[in-house]
Amino acid sequence: QKEVEQDPGPLSVPEGAIVSLNCTYSNSAFQYFMWYRQYSRKGPELLMYTYSSGNKEDGRFTAQVDKSSKYISLFIRDSQPSDSATYLCAMTKSGGSNYKLTFGKGTLLTVNP
């Protein structure tokens, strides 16, 4: 079993739709949870991060973490064609000096005008 599982999609939605992206994980030591956006042939771009359980909102983006279920989500409201990209979840443990990220394989999202 991989440490982080993410549905690769592809996911295709109309402009203005609410998008839900999800990851599950198996390692209970993970404490920091990130979402990255990666456009084709570009480097991953950090969208937002959450520490432990709870919600975090940034503009049209909301991240949720449920540690009891080992399940994290990213919601995109009023999706735009410019949101079309691959979305990667990533997570890391707390403490120490090495924060290597463990990634899901990414979900490819297309928002159609």
Partner 1 sequence: DSGVTQTPKHLITATGQRVTLRCSPRSGDLSVYWYQQSLDQGLQFLIHYYNGEERAKGNILERFSAQQFPDLHSELNLSSLELGDSALYFCASSVKGQGAYEQYFGPGTRLTVT
Binding pattern for the stretch 71-90 against partner 1, x by CB under 8 A and - elsewhere: -----------------x-x
Q: Give the range of 14-22, 52-60, 73-81, 103-111 binding partner 1 by CB under 8 A.
A: 103-111
Q: Which of 61, 103, 108, 110 binds partner 1 (CB under 8 A)?
A: 103
Check the CA dihedral 55-58-59-63 and report its sign. Answer: negative
CA atoms of 107 and 12, how far apart (whole Å): 11
CA atoms of 7 and 68, how far apart (whole Å): 20
Binding pattern for the stretch 31-70 against partner 1, x by CB under 8 A and - elsewhere: -x-x-x----xxxxxx--x---------------------
CA atoms of 103 and 80, how far apart (whole Å): 25
Binding residues for partner 1, rule CB under 8 A, total 23
Strand duo 11-14 + 107-112: pairing:
parallel
* Of residues 4 and 76, the one with the C-beta less far from partner 1: 4
